[in-house]
A and B are shown apart, each in its own frame.
Chain A
Amino acid sequence: MSTRSSSPAPRRASRGGGLFSTPGLVLGMEGLSKTFPGQRALDRVNLAVRRKEVHGLVGANGSGKSTLVKILSGYHGPDADAAPTCVFAGAKVALPLTPGESHRLGMRFVHQDLGLVPSLSISENIGLAAGFPTGVARRIRWRAQLALAREGVRRVGLERSPQTIVERLSPVERVLVAISRVLLDQEGTQLLIMDEPTANLPHSEVERVHAAVREIVGGTGAGVLYVTHRIEELFALCSQITVLRDGKVAALLAAAETDTDTVVAEIVGQRVDQKGAEPGAREGRAGGAVLVTKAISARVCNDVSVELRRGEIAGAAGESASGKSEFGRVLFGLTQPTSGTLLLEGKPVKLAGPAEAMAAGIALIPPDRLRQGSIGELSVRENVTLASLDRSVGGALAWLSIRQEKRDVAAIVRDFDVRPSGTEHRLEMLSGGNRQKVLLGKWWQRKPKVFVLDEPTSGMDVGAKAAVHSALRRAAADGAAVLVLSSDEVELSELCDRVLVFRAGAVIDELAGSRLSRQDILTAYYGNGDTGGKSFQASEDLGTRKEQLS
């Protein structure tokens, strides 16, 4: 990886009375704060977006980007006691907004999930958002609608008939459709807010999105607030850059006057009050390799070679599309690798599915606790024992002693401090943290050699997080090879002995020892633009494969 630039002095955003007098201001917000229980998501944030300007908004996970977007869309209300002021298109606007209001004002959103209806055509999707031209008795004038859609599609550079069903489109084409909807909006767009529209796109296709954004700016004169994780996009597309860190504006930069290193340094912050990094305590714990992957490629993953060791907690950092989840699925037999080998305790294995992976001593707790990990309608006991049914002597028709199950599960419930402590509650009655403790118990009773956890603490409060972490430390101390896939860098830096940094399907860096702070992880993730060539190749493959699939 590239050497870390020395951290420059933090540049303060220009603030004060000048904000609302900015010429051509579309959106001006001052003193915006948002507090969630136990957490300050936004802290006196100022933001100014001008007409015809693409304003980049960057920041690490948890820096407050999505909270800011959600306040604009009317999903959250800001803290009232902070008395924020908001000016939109020349008029003062009272916060909180409602979704209807923000639409009426002229704000349009392209969220990461795009909000398209896959089974409808491009033209119909455009009509749903931008309004259908109607005739007598509110009949849709389909011919006019098609002509309109054709025009919109052409302007965003999409060479498709407007009657194409959205399902058949590639990921980048879907993004373009979402953008064309904004372009055709009859009520007039003042501000377009794009929330990581390129997160799932390969490098080569990002430019198509940028071209469409420029078309919007040129065609409607609207301002654009562009949220992204990709630093290179800021320089390709944006004129102003607001960097959020820990809910505060860390810097307001003009793209023409800054560089990648500066932006990364602002995202990451100063190397001060490092927390959790205790290199001394971490060393010498890891034993021999349990699971080794050699050049594994599968869908998103490209050429991943890693080693998971006995007694060690390894971490995998990266965004949702970085391939770390896919890698976890490969290890559990859910995704078949297209090439490469998997060695378990030195022997090559082929995992045809979860059952084989479980038999081989691998466990996976998937990211979606509610749907993939647990069955809410079944009891705590039934959820836990589900993973041990294959151990019952006598096969599929052996008598299950419910009394014995209760005893076993009660011990697990006690061990993992699940509350409430009963075994017969339906799992859906438990809080997220307790639900996860049950899942830890469910898999830990199998004493897995390799324990993979995908986002094990997302959405949990501090106490529940700590409980999960201590359970994982215990698992490692008992000799398991633990792999934690997480987009929470703080968690990784506090918990892991070693962190693999995933980007665009490849492991671009491996951090260990003293290089394990949150800043180190973020720097490795954001600051490695130069290694992009090879890894982005992988995600281009992904793009074409997705196209073939869909």
Chain B
Amino acid sequence: MSVEEQGQSPDPSAEAGTGRFSAWMPSGGTTLVILERFGLLLLLFAIIVAFSVALPDSFPTDQTLTAIVSSQPAAIFAAFAVLVPLIAGEFDLSVGFGLGFTSVFFAWLMGNEITFALALLIVVVIGLMIGAVNGWLVVHLGMNSFIATLGSGTILSGLILYFTNGQILSENLPQGLLDATRTEVVGIVLPVFYVVAVGLFMWYVLEHTPLGRRMYATGAGVEAARLTGINTQRLRFFSFVAGSMLWVIAGLINTGRIGAAYPDIGPSFLLPAFAACFLGATAIKPRYFNVWGTVAASILVVVGVTGFQQAGVKEWIEPVFTGMVLLLAVAISVRTSVLRARLHD
């Protein structure tokens, strides 16, 4: 054990009193810790600089920024939808199809001349029910979440085909939704504000309330959490329901932004969402799945993809880059914990 040699401040009051940052700066904050915490942001910055130098005419422009800013909110909400169950220790693979289903189902309802408010209510309720079914399969039937959500997601993919017949649905989309996803305030589209608002709320709940702490504990050690009086079953169930709410939002934002519901939109969101969560867990609050790390990672992925596409690489770069990011993120977290274990043994 070499932790003792790392220069811990022996006086705990001094540690607690180092000011505002003490709440989230680790005690004995070394450059290494800071590097770990903000490494992702540095990498993001480096990528931006690199592409700006390489592609001075197209990359560092307003168009690029607008494209990224308007396309990202749906992806970040999808990542949030993955994040909540992940924190409670569960995988939700139905997020992509859930998002796609929300999108086409909403468009289909509108095409059948239902009012905006009613269609909104229906997709929200159906979404919550799908989340509840996922939670029931995993928590009450005891299924592995990987398998359960793979199954429910596949069913959703069938429903997407049923409602679209493979066609793009764009008729009668409500002006309200288009306004809510396209209006700009101080030059920024509204969904960015939704991301910030929901992100702040999630950050508050997950990192600063007993509820969030219990979710992290459930994910990191379900048996120990249970033996500390935590209702782990209810929390795991809840995580799927909360996640479903988030992919419903993602689906709606995406429909409004594009102005149409594509039958094949869902799956392309899933892997980037997982990549963002895992890469996000290497930063901001390292080794914990966390909100702001997820946001930063999500932006990093899209910046990288955009840059490569502008450099003339074809569409294949997106899944390749995303997949590599996912593997790299997981490799980093595995390696650092192995390294740490070695250092401290």
Tell yes or no: A423 within 8 A of B by CB.
Answer: yes
Tell yes or no: A76 within 8 A of B by CB.
Answer: no
A422–B223 Cα distance when bound, in Å, is: 25
Do B8 and A403 have beta carbons less than 8 Å apart? Answer: no
Of residues 422 to 468 in A, which have CB atoms within 8 Å of B's CB atoms? 422-426, 428-431, 442
A236–B140 Cα distance when bound, in Å, is: 48
Do B3 and A406 have beta carbons less than 8 Å apart? Answer: no
Of residues 168 to 213 in A, which have CB atoms within 8 Å of B's CB atoms? none
Do B23 and A403 have beta carbons less than 8 Å apart? Answer: yes
Q: A354-B228, A375-B221, A396-B209 are in contact. Are A402 and B3 (CB under 8 A)?
A: no
Do A425 and B3 have beta carbons less than 8 Å apart? Answer: yes
Smallest CB–CB gap between B26 and chain A, Å? 5
Smallest CB–CB gap between B271 and chain A, Å? 25
Of residues 197 to 212 in B, which have CB atoms within 8 Å of A's CB atoms? 204-205, 208-211
A429–B12 Cα distance when bound, in Å, is: 19
Chain B's interface: helix, strand, loop or mixed, by majority?
helix
A426–B341 Cα distance when bound, in Å, is: 11
User: Looking at the complex, which one of A332, A354, A398, A406 makes contact with B16 (CB distance below 8 Å)?
Assistant: A406
Do B229 and A358 have beta carbons less than 8 Å apart? Answer: yes
Tell yes or no: B216 within 8 A of A by CB.
Answer: yes
Tell yes or no: B220 within 8 A of A by CB.
Answer: yes
Smallest CB–CB gap between A69 and chain B, Å? 27
A389–B213 Cα distance when bound, in Å, is: 8
User: Looking at the complex, which one of B15, B205, B213, B221 makes contact with A406 (CB distance below 8 Å)?
Assistant: B15
Do B217 and A410 have beta carbons less than 8 Å apart? Answer: no
Residue of B208, B210, B216, B225 contacting most chain A CB atoms (<10 Å): B210
Of residues 215 to 253 in B, which have CB atoms within 8 Å of A's CB atoms? 216-217, 220-221, 223-231
- Which chain B residues border A425 with CB–CB below 8 Å? 3
Do B210 and A400 have beta carbons less than 8 Å apart? Answer: yes
Residue of B213, B221, B341 contacting most chain A CB atoms (<10 Å): B221
Do B231 and A410 have beta carbons less than 8 Å apart? Answer: no
Tell yes or no: B340 within 8 A of A by CB.
Answer: yes
A411–B12 Cα distance when bound, in Å, is: 8
Do B227 and A372 have beta carbons less than 8 Å apart? Answer: yes
A371–B27 Cα distance when bound, in Å, is: 26
Tell yes or no: A347 within 8 A of B by CB.
Answer: no
> How many positions in chain A have a CB within 8 Å of any CB in the partner chain?
53
- Which chain A residues border B229 with CB–CB below 8 Å? 353-355, 357-359, 387, 390
Do B210 and A374 have beta carbons less than 8 Å apart? Answer: no
> Interface segment, A28-36, A377-385, A489-497?
A377-385
- Which chain A residues border B13 with CB–CB below 8 Å? 407, 410
Q: A371-B224, A373-B224 are in contact. Are A413 and B12 (CB under 8 A)?
A: yes
Tell yes or no: A420 within 8 A of B by CB.
Answer: yes
Tell yes or no: A334 within 8 A of B by CB.
Answer: yes
Closest chain A residue, CB of each to CB of B231 = A355
Closest chain B residue, CB of each to CB of A377 = B220
Chain A 212-228 per-residue mask, 1 if CB under 8 angstroms from chain B, else 0:
00000000000000000
- Which chain B residues border A396 with CB–CB below 8 Å? 209-211, 214
A372–B228 Cα distance when bound, in Å, is: 9
Q: A334-B227, A376-B221, A423-B27 are in contact. Are A400 and B213 (CB under 8 A)?
A: yes
User: Looking at the complex, which one of B209, B224, B226 makes contact with A400 (CB distance below 8 Å)?
Assistant: B209
A387–B287 Cα distance when bound, in Å, is: 22
Tell yes or no: A414 within 8 A of B by CB.
Answer: yes
Known: A372-B227, A386-B214, A389-B214. 5 other contacts (CB 8 A): A376-B221, A377-B287, A396-B214, A410-B13, A420-B3
Q: State the B residues within 8 Å of A (CB).
A: 1, 3-4, 6, 8-10, 12-13, 15-16, 22-24, 26-28, 204-205, 208-211, 213-214, 216-217, 220-221, 223-231, 287, 340-341, 344
Q: What are 28 A-B contacts with C-beta separation under 8 Å? A: A332-B227, A354-B228, A354-B229, A357-B229, A372-B224, A375-B217, A375-B225, A382-B216, A385-B213, A386-B214, A386-B228, A386-B230, A392-B210, A397-B205, A399-B208, A399-B209, A402-B23, A403-B22, A406-B15, A406-B22, A413-B12, A419-B4, A420-B4, A422-B9, A422-B15, A423-B12, A426-B287, A429-B344
